[in-house]
Structures are given as structure tokens and as C-alpha cells.
Amino acid sequence: MATESSRGLSDHVRGVTVTTLACLAGVIAAVVTAIVFGTDPSAVSTTTPLAVVAAFVIAQYPILYALRVDVSEFGIKDNLYVAFMTFALWFLSNTIMLSTGVSF
């Protein structure tokens, strides 16, 4: 039987919720990056889009709280997981958009 956290979500639902939100945040951050900074070759040489990724990592915590995930239980491993998954999906999505030259 699945164990319940203090806010009522099972461990499985908590994990799926955190993973889904982190992945969606990474893809949305890539789209925002492409819209704001463009997909031309000059957009590759700047590190400013990483600020967009950082903002999306930070913005996930209030959303997770609203989805009844107890973020006060997060340890360093959980926080690194959220940041890594968001960055990884942003990096993959942004790389695909930059290499194909998608325009918005």
C-alpha cells in the first residue's frame, strides 16, 4: 500500500507530479527563451537565457504547493532533481529549436 505524506498525496503521485511539472517547466522555458531571445545564431552565444531557466525552477515551488505537494519536506536531493530536470528539458528543447531554426 502506498504511504501518504502529511498533505495527503501518496509517494507515487508526489513523484509523478514533481517530475511532470519539472519537465513541462523546462519545455515552456525553452519556448519562452526562443520567443524572447530568438533562434538565430547570435542567440547561442549568450548565457542570459539561463536566467529564464532559473526563474522557471523557482516558479515551480508555489505551483507544487498549490498542487498539494509538501515542499517543506524537500531535501537537497529533491531540489537538485527539480533543477536538473528543468534544465535538461530546457537544454534539449532549446537545442532542437536552435538547430532547426524555428521562428515564433
SS3 state at 10 = strand
Tens digits of residue pLDDT in 56-101: 999 999 999 999 999 999 999 999 999 999 999 999 999 999 999 8
Give the residue from 59, 62, 34, 66 showing the smallest Cα distance to 49. Answer: 34
Cα-based distances in Å from 83 to 37, 60, 71, 87: 21, 10, 14, 6
Average pLDDT over residues 32-55: 90
Tens digits of residue pLDDT in 9-32: 788 999 999 999 999 999 999 999
- What is the per-residue pLDDT for 12? 93
